[in-house]
Structure 1
Amino acid sequence: MKKLLGALLLAALPATPAFAQACTPGTYAAADGDFVVLVKSPAVPAPGLRYLFRDGRRGASSDTTAPFSCGSDSVTVNGKAWKPVAFRETPATFDSVATKMNGMLIEPPGAPDAKRPLVVMVHGSERTSPIGGVYGYAMAAQGISVFVYDKRGTGGSEGEYTQNFELLAEDAGHALDQARSMAKGRFGRAGFFGGSQGGWVAPLAATRTKADFVAIGFGLVASPIEEDREQMVSEVRAAGLGDDAVALVNRLSAATSQLLLSEFHTGYDALDAVRRDMADKPWAAKIEGEYSGAIARTPNDELKRIGRARVDNLELIWDYDAVAALKKLDAPLLWVLAGEDREAPIETTRGALTGLAKAGKPVDVYLFPDTDHGMFEFTTNADGSRSVTRITDGYLKLLGDWIKGDVRGSYGRAEHLTPR
């Protein structure tokens, strides 16, 4: 996906004031289990750190509005000192499909617990390392052992970066094997969490290796081709356009999918026909989708020459059958939807998931209204663009409680779409 989870987490940070707070990286917890994670980030000038609270508040420690102050061995929130959490962190390397991968096992403090859940975090399409990031620690702070690893071709992992779901699922499966081996005798059930593109990869991995659960945030039960089409439909509807515009972008998606599936050999006649019908539409020049807008504005001779190199160079499985993978999955599945997700529109995904639940699959579906990709709340600017503010309250706690098998009460504004 173009707007990567990692990119979203780096967005909208304020400038660093001259009197930046001197905070020490780490996770700090209150007596009631609340916590804040502080990590170094290239988006936050030193000595500032990125912070993330359990309730989703986020920003830079150097921000004048940061809701805490830092001491030498604690963080003070609302007048109370939160103490550092002493995680056990164990570096790891493992092999996957003749490639050496780099990872880290993060375990909560305290005596070994044979019932503690273990989760492997399957990343989205970002190229940044999850090791040392906020999400692994935010999960571990909730009493979960967490294994994070660098996607192949990124961070400390060897190989070539790819978006081939089949290969990435093999990597995730080997990561789970490695995590189980390292935490032997110190965990109970073990499974995957996947965000964004991880919604394609984690369930597929769970059909190939024994997983006790799969949790997904803001992923798609649709192919990348369907994602592109739904993004364009979302764009024209947001612009207040009617069924004629929807029909045109559906035709555009069908034409560009021919190009992709034929490796840019066929589909040009259909693309030219759509271009002619869109030529007098002022809104057409602003259509993006995942890739169709850019393809439509690129001359055919250029598409034939370098189209595949520009658009189809990462081995993406364009017509991937996500529903088929979920039908093979026997492990319990949590899927959390962002209600106003522009990057991964939810209409097809919501229908597929509720259908699987009605068919008897162990599927839990939650929706957080008024959130965009990444479970971000947002403000809408005058030009229709969005500025993200925070992760919506309840999302991180829902993930932690569900993985621990301890879901109870409400989670922010979450709507449970598949109650039993």
Structure 2
Amino acid sequence: MIRAFLAFAVAATLTPSAAARPDAVQPFCEAGAYRSAEGNFVALARSPTHPDRGLRYLFRDGRRGWASDADAPFDCTPDGVRIGKGDGTQAWARVAFRETSATFDSAGSKLNGVLIEPPGADPRRPLVVMVHGSERSSPIGGIYGYAMAAQGLSVFVYDKRGTGASEGEYTQNFELLANDAAAALEQARAMLPGHSGRAGFFGGSQGGWVAPLAATLTPADFVAVGFGLVASPIEEDREQMVSEVRAAGLGADAEKLVNNLSAATAKLLLSNFKEGYEELDTARAALAKKPWAERIQGEHSGAILRMPNEELRRIGRPRFDNLELIWDYDAVAALRKLRTPLLWVLAGEDREAPIETTRAALADLQAAGQPIDVYLFPGTDHGMIEFTTGPDGERRYTRIADGYLTLLGDWIKGGANGSYARAQKLNPR
């Protein structure tokens, strides 16, 4: 989650299809959302990583792809989209969102945002501020903003400082980013005079550190988090390496070795690369004869392991510690301060943000009386993305889990009930 990860994990694994339509873009397609009378929808948006590819799509049930794919399950028309092929097609109309640009101040920088409002005036309509992951791309005009607004929510999206049209320096300092998110909610509220509905935050990935903290800085009625961590960045690195050795079928001895490596790299990071070299040399020696050690990555420990000490002393800090990350951030302490209802959605087989420590911490907080709802989608990786696994162990990512978008929309509205496809609601211990 420290490595750059596209907003809410949708674009990261959408690569151009070899079976694209000849013109690469469907005629009449426009960014936004198209909805049926029953409330189903498809959101269309340009990808920040493939801006020349045309529009990508995301259905409410998690199906995704490119509008230009030969097998895209819809056609664009002058009046909307036609879902299905041949007999039995359905016409879905484009949702007439109102999009209002805004700038607002936070910690000496002007930030850029957009408020997306569904049709009609309803002062009780819930308002959600979308909090970033670690990406540097703009979420404005992004597919998740439209997908949330298509469910009847007012949505405020904004460029993280130092990205898009926002001023300031790009950072991953959770305290500063939480201040920005709180300012974003205040700006969105100011744009909705007379608003009396629920208002709060949704954060994906790294936003799971930022959104709860923002809710301690300004009044909020809810916080929703997808595939985030209740752990520090150092713990994230360690858990990723443990996940890697477990996926490779290695045993407890291998886990002990990567735990020792994590402790050594943590000492380096927390001392600004002044201390920890002796421990790192010990970890290197123990791993030197292990062929599998060459494949260990984590968030940062694998790269540190393979760099000479003299190089780490010279450039270790600017390479690994140049974004003001709070390496030993106490995520549990932040959540203990939170009295706002919290939704936390876990990806069952998350390699980017392994869930073992997070799941246990959330269960402890639930048992202590914190107002937390926890859901788990089995068979999903970071971003709530389903996958198949090949003979070589590599994952091929397919779609967003069915039920995930609906769960977010319903819970933010205050009415998450019933089942959400394969989602499992986790009860307190």
SS at the partner of 2:43? strand
2:39 aligned with 1:33: yes
Equivalent of residue 224 in structure 1, options 233, 237, 244? 233
- The 2-side partners of 1:25 and 1:134 are apart by 8
2:109 aligned with 1:99: yes
Q: How does 1:352-367 map to 2 (within 5 A)?
A: 352-367=361-376
2:28 aligned with 1:18: no
- The 2-side partners of 1:291 and 1:203 are apart by 25
Is the 1:233–1:249 contact (alpha carbons within 8 Å) kept by the matching residues of 2?
yes
Q: Per the alignment, do residues 47 and 257 of structure 1 end up closer, same or farther by CA in structure 2, a change over 3 Å counting?
A: closer
Q: How far off its partner does 1:40 sit?
A: 2.1
Q: Per the alignment, do residues 342 and 84 of structure 1 end up closer, same or farther by CA in structure 2, a change over 3 Å counting?
A: same
Farther-moved stretch of structure 1 (12-21 vs 100-109): 12-21
SS at the partner of 2:410? helix
2:154 aligned with 1:145: yes
Q: How far off its partner does 1:385 sit?
A: 2.4
Q: Per the alignment, do residues 279 and 387 of structure 1 end up closer, same or farther by CA in structure 2, a change over 3 Å counting?
A: same
SS at the partner of 1:186? coil
- The 2-side partners of 1:317 and 1:3 are apart by 16
Counterpart residue number, 1:81: 91
Alpha-carbon displacement from aligned partner over 1:272-322 (angstroms, at most 9, x marks no partner): 001001111110111000000100000000000000111110000000000
SS at the partner of 1:271? helix
Q: How far off its partner does 1:42 sit?
A: 4.6
- The 2-side partners of 1:104 and 1:383 are apart by 44
Counterpart residue number, 2:263: 254
Q: Per the alignment, do residues 90 and 12 of structure 1 end up closer, same or farther by CA in structure 2, a change over 3 Å counting?
A: closer
Query: Aligned pair count?
Result: 419
Counterpart residue number, 1:124: 133
- The 1-side partners of 2:228 and 2:48 are apart by 26
Q: How far off its partner does 1:124 sit?
A: 0.2
Counterpart residue number, 1:408: 417
Q: How far off its partner does 1:45 sit?
A: 6.4
- The 2-side partners of 1:336 and 1:271 are apart by 35
Q: How far off its partner does 1:141 sit?
A: 0.6
Q: How does 1:276-295 map to 2 (within 5 A)?
A: 276-295=285-304
Alpha-carbon displacement from aligned partner over 1:152-203 (angstroms, at most 9, x marks no partner): 0000100000000000000001001001110121341110000000000000
Point out where structure 1 has 5 or more consecutive residues left out of the alignment. Answer: none
Is the 1:41–1:50 contact (alpha carbons within 8 Å) kept by the matching residues of 2?
yes
- The 1-side partners of 2:82 and 2:428 are apart by 39
Counterpart residue number, 2:403: 394
Farther-moved stretch of structure 1 (332-341 vs 201-210): 201-210
- The 2-side partners of 1:224 and 1:161 are apart by 18
SS at the partner of 2:380? coil
Farther-moved stretch of structure 1 (241-250 vs 381-390): 381-390
Farther-moved stretch of structure 1 (183-192 vs 337-346): 183-192
Equivalent of residue 325 in structure 2, options 287, 312, 316? 316
Is the 1:364–1:419 contact (alpha carbons within 8 Å) kept by the matching residues of 2?
no
- The 1-side partners of 2:351 and 2:223 are apart by 24
- The amino acid across from 1:9 in the alignment is A
- The amino acid across from 1:4 in the alignment is F
- The 2-side partners of 1:267 and 1:241 are apart by 26
- The 1-side partners of 2:375 and 2:401 are apart by 13
- The 1-side partners of 2:49 and 2:68 are apart by 12
TM-score (norm 2): 0.95
- The 1-side partners of 2:299 and 2:374 are apart by 25
TM-score (norm 1): 0.97
Alpha-carbon displacement from aligned partner over 1:355-399 (angstroms, at most 9, x marks no partner): 111111100000000000000001223332222111000000000
Q: Per the alignment, do residues 8 and 308 of structure 1 end up closer, same or farther by CA in structure 2, a change over 3 Å counting?
A: farther
- The 2-side partners of 1:101 and 1:248 are apart by 44
Q: How far off its partner does 1:3 sit?
A: 5.5
- The amino acid across from 2:155 in the alignment is V
Q: How far off its partner does 1:237 sit?
A: 0.5
Q: How far off its partner does 1:325 sit?
A: 0.3
- The 2-side partners of 1:167 and 1:383 are apart by 42
Counterpart residue number, 1:169: 178
- The 1-side partners of 2:403 and 2:96 are apart by 24
- The 1-side partners of 2:14 and 2:162 are apart by 27
Q: Per the alignment, do residues 294 and 150 of structure 1 end up closer, same or farther by CA in structure 2, a change over 3 Å counting?
A: same
Counterpart residue number, 1:266: 275
Counterpart residue number, 1:182: 191
Alpha-carbon displacement from aligned partner over 1:69-93 (angstroms, at most 9, x marks no partner): 1111210113010001001111000
- The amino acid across from 2:281 in the alignment is D
Farther-moved stretch of structure 1 (45-54 vs 184-193): 45-54
Counterpart residue number, 1:378: 387
Is the 1:203–1:325 contact (alpha carbons within 8 Å) kept by the matching residues of 2?
yes
Is the 1:5–1:196 contact (alpha carbons within 8 Å) kept by the matching residues of 2?
no
Is the 2:367–2:428 contact (alpha carbons within 8 Å) kept by the matching residues of 1?
no
Q: Per the alignment, do residues 10 and 233 of structure 1 end up closer, same or farther by CA in structure 2, a change over 3 Å counting?
A: closer
Alpha-carbon displacement from aligned partner over 1:336-357 (angstroms, at most 9, x marks no partner): 0000000000000000001111
Farther-moved stretch of structure 1 (69-78 vs 28-37): 69-78
Counterpart residue number, 1:4: 5
- The 2-side partners of 1:50 and 1:64 are apart by 13
- The 2-side partners of 1:157 and 1:316 are apart by 20
Counterpart residue number, 2:118: 108
Point out where structure 2 has 5 or more consecutive residues left out of the alignment. Answer: none
- The amino acid across from 2:11 in the alignment is L
Counterpart residue number, 1:49: 55
Is the 1:335–1:365 contact (alpha carbons within 8 Å) kept by the matching residues of 2?
yes
Q: How far off its partner does 1:224 sit?
A: 0.2
